[in-house]
Every structure is written in C-alpha cells, then in structure tokens.
A and B are shown apart, each in its own frame.
Chain A
Amino acid sequence: MNFLKPIMAHSPVLLIIAVFVAVPLFVTNMYHLQVLVFIGIYAILALSLNLLNGYVGLLSIGHAAFYAIGAYTSAKLTIDLQLPWVLALAGAGAVAGGFGYLIAKPTLRLSGIYMTLATLGFNMILFLVLQNWMSFTNGPLGIMDIPPPSIFGTVLGSRLQYYYLILILVLLTVFSMHRLMACRFGRALTAIRENELAAEATGVDTTRYKIQAFVLAAGYAGIAGSFYAHFVKYISPDSFTINESFILLAMLAFGGQGNLLGPVVGAAALILIPEVFRPLQEYRMFVYGGILIAMMLVRRQGLFGGRCYRLRLTRFDPPSARVYQRGDKFLPEG
C-alpha cells in the first residue's frame, strides 16, 4: 500500500484537477466555455506577473508587452514560416523570455519606482512599434487568419478542445511554478522580497535571481500570448495596451499575490464579474470598480494574499518530515 501514499497525500490536488476535467460535462454552452478559456489565459498571465510582483517584490506594470510579443511571435511563426503550433508556442515563450532578459539586464540596476517606470515605458514603446511597423505587424489592422493550434497534425478547432488545451497549459504552469518555488530558487526570490540587503549579505546573488525571474515571467506570458493568438485567430495592438497590464495588476490585487492560488482566483473573479453583470450593460463597470474598491477597503492583501497554501495532506508524509513540520522539540543526532 506504500505506493498509494503519495497519491493520497496529493488527493486534494487530484480532486481539483478531476473537477476541472469534468467541467465540460456540465458546461456545454459555447459562450460559457469561451469565458472559461479566457480565465485560463489570464490565470497564466496573472501567475507569470505574480512571479515578479508577488515573489520577488519587483513592481512590473508593463507585463502585457510580453503577452504581445508571445502572440505576435507565434502568429508570425505559424503564418510566415509555416511552423507547427507546438514549435510556435515554444518559440513564443523563448522570444518573450529573450525580450525579458533584454529589459531586465539594464533596468534591474534601477531601483524601485524607476524600474517600474521602465516596464511601463517598454509596454508603451512596444505598443507603438506594433502600431506603426506596417510591413511586419500590419499596424493597427492586426494579423488575421491565424491558424488554429494543431498537435501532430490534429487540428484543434472546437471550444471543448481549446478548453482542455488551456487547462493543460494552466496545470503545467502551476505545476512548474510550484516546483520552482518549493526549492532553492523560490526561497531565494522570497528572501529578496522580504529583505534584499539581508539576502545579498547572506550570499544570494540577487541580481542574477531577479533576471532569471524576469525571463521566466516573460516566457510564461509569451506562452499565454501564443495561445491567445491561436484561440482568437486575430491579433491587433489594441489587445496589448497598458490597460491590459493594469487588468493583470488588478487581478493580483484582488486575488492576492505571493502564492499560486491568489492569481488564479483573481483572474477568474475579474473575468467573471463583467460577464455575470452583463445584463446591467454599461453600468457593470460600476460594479467592477466598486468590488475592487471594496476589496481594498476590506482586505487589502487580496483574497488569498500574504501566505502560502499547501494542498498536501501531511499525515501521509514520512515520519521524519512530519517531525519537522510539527516543530517538535528534537535535536538532530550526531
């Protein structure tokens, strides 16, 4: 029965995954599925921004730039170079990550608000480039007829297939981020957020870690961009304005940052609120703003901000790990 223990320990996670896999059994409305897909896209974006704003404590307010780079790269690769979508997805992540490096390398020398302004500036510049570089990006007209994703020759076209695809991408994002955060890398990032000077003095190479985090965050955003391009099949600079960056920030503010649950909840909530209040027509933005303001008044750190959430059932852990977790009085032998 020993092999069952890890499965039992992770049963809450498996249960949640099972629920999401089963969702299309109950949600058959195409519009509802589409909303769910958008929640998935924004969950990846919010999670990627959370790497910077939540874990490292860098305030980046131009994150939509990397989302745009991912979308345009992926569209260009599949249309102009006829690459299969899987390669374009990887390419989008890599190119966005590369741009992340180019931005991070010089701007991380800047501290605090100056770095923040640099990210904002990058977002604005990129928007203008997309808008005006007619020969490459087709300017404000955007890129049309982006092919749907295909995996090994199978073209994915239905809403249901998109749903499962984004579900897989979100799960991969959460899984990989969890792995990163639960070891040396995540500890160092959190230490930088908590006290950069102390982290540096303890031997943590803060600049290197910050650049790595920036590249990763940009890469994840690029992947979300690629999926978006092939889902909507049409991209234009208007989808990647500073507004988009601020929506991501609002998601983090609403859901809470510094863990992997808050951003997902924030993304879901801020996508759902305008949709749910659609009957109110133009007044729904009042509700949206009102809820955000109320949130800041009642719970400033966001719904799930400021702490870690574990979904492991610890009673299935090996005994020694349990002793550490309870913090029992004990001295290590030898």
Chain B
Amino acid sequence: MATDRDIVAAREIGKAVARELGFDGVDLVVIATAISEVARNIISYAVHGEVEVAELRNGHRRGIEMVARDRGPGIADVERAMQDGYSTGGGLGLGLPGSRRLVDEFSIESSTGGGGTTVTMRKWLG
C-alpha cells in the first residue's frame, strides 16, 4: 500500500475474501470498514505498508484475520492512540479505537525504534 487508492483496493480484497469465507450482510461492511481504517492509518502515518487477509480456523470455528503492517515511525503512546478522539494526524481519532469495536479480537504492536506498527484484527463467523 502506498496511496489512498490502495485503501479502497485493500478493503475490496478483504470484502471478497470475507464473502468467500461465508460472511455476508452487515459483517461484510464491518470487515471492509475496519480494513479501511487500519489501512488509512498506514497511509497517513507510515506511507508504506501492507494489509494481509487470511482465513482463520479454530476447530469448527472459522473466521477472517486481517493484519496491517508498516515500518513507519510507530506510535509513541499506544494506549492514548486507542482512545476515541485522539489523533496526531488531523483525523477524527476514531480509526483504531473504532476498528477495535468492529471486530472480535484486536491487538496492536508498535515500536518507535524502527519496528513500525502491526495491527491484527480477527472476526469469527456466526
């Protein structure tokens, strides 16, 4: 991902994969919206990065895993970045905390020492 056009591409791919896995209706929109938010975080703060979408299996449970990864400057205060309304980039400050509300599992790892930021989101079927 390198431009804002890629945000749209990432969420379209994510939606297509989710549909193949059996997600429908509101779940598809929720998955696409969550991908859109974390992908925009990459473009806004790190400029370059990637979004990976994969199938999840845990016994009989199936789901989708979405990983957004960048090698950007990292988030100095992750706890604060997860609060509604906090933004250093002029946005609404809802991207990360909002995405967390959209999915079943959410984790974020960030390092300001060059390790970048990785956001992992999971949503289960049913």
A binds B: no
